[in-house]
Amino acid sequence: MELFLFINFSLFAILGSLGLILFKAPIHGALSLIVTLVSIAGLYLLLFAKTLFLIQIVVYAGAIMVLSVFVMMFFNIKSDTLFVKLKPKSFFVIIPPTVIFAILLDEIWKLPSDFGIAPLDFGEIKPLGFYLFTNWGLSFEAISLLLTAALIGVVAILKGKNNA
């Protein structure tokens, strides 16, 4: 059963990611991203990482996606076509990610098949919070500021497009 769920969650995560890239309509891309985030949350649940599962659902699939969809609807962002049409030149753009994917796949095949047993407190909030705020506190805050600046930038760009 775990293998079945793992394969399905992984497949939905990959399909949602492809939808995010291929759909031209922003709302369809946002819905594809929600599928991806919920699938990743399912993978966290298979790992018994309850805290990461809840954070993924509540924060990412919930709050951030609601905010993104709100911004899209507020600025009335529309698209005429559903899929992006690939031009012959765009196939050269596909080459670097394909090479990186092949390298990552090669490294995954080199990993040992037995990873051992996770500690008893794996996925709990106390060790996660301690680790985040002792080892990665500055990085955590820098990323939050970067995301805030990116959101402000998107709103400014969209506001400028609507005024033109």
Instruction: Give, for all 164 residues of the chain, the pLDDT tens digit.
Output: 999 999 999 999 999 999 988 887 778 888 898 999 999 999 999 988 888 898 888 888 788 778 777 777 777 766 654 445 666 666 777 788 889 989 989 998 888 877 777 777 777 788 878 887 888 888 888 888 998 998 888 788 777 766 65
Q: State residue 41's pLDDT score.
A: 93
Q: 103-109 contacts: CB < 8 A, separation 24 or more?
A: none
Number of Cβ within 10 Å of residue 46's Cβ equals 15
Q: What is the DSSP letter of 85?
A: P
Residue span of the structural domain in which 156 resides: 121-164
Query: Same structural domain for residues 80 and 126?
Result: no
Q: State residue 35's pLDDT score.
A: 93
Query: Same structural domain for residues 72 and 132?
Result: no
Q: Please say whether the beta carbons of 122 and 49 come within 8 A.
A: yes
Nearest to 54 by CA among 136, 140, 128: 128
Global pTM reads: 0.63
Q: Where are the alpha helices (DSSP H) in the chain?
A: 2-22, 26-46, 50-55, 65-74, 91-110, 125-135, 137-163
Residue 49 lies in a domain: yes
Query: Same structural domain for residues 51 and 2?
Result: yes
Residue 95 lies in a domain: no
Residue at which a domain ends, from 43, 60, 86: 86
Residue 106 lies in a domain: no
Question: Which residues fall within 8 angstroms of residue 44, CB to CB, at 6 or more apart?
Answer: 52, 53, 56, 123
Residue 115 lies in a domain: no
Residue 163 lies in a domain: yes
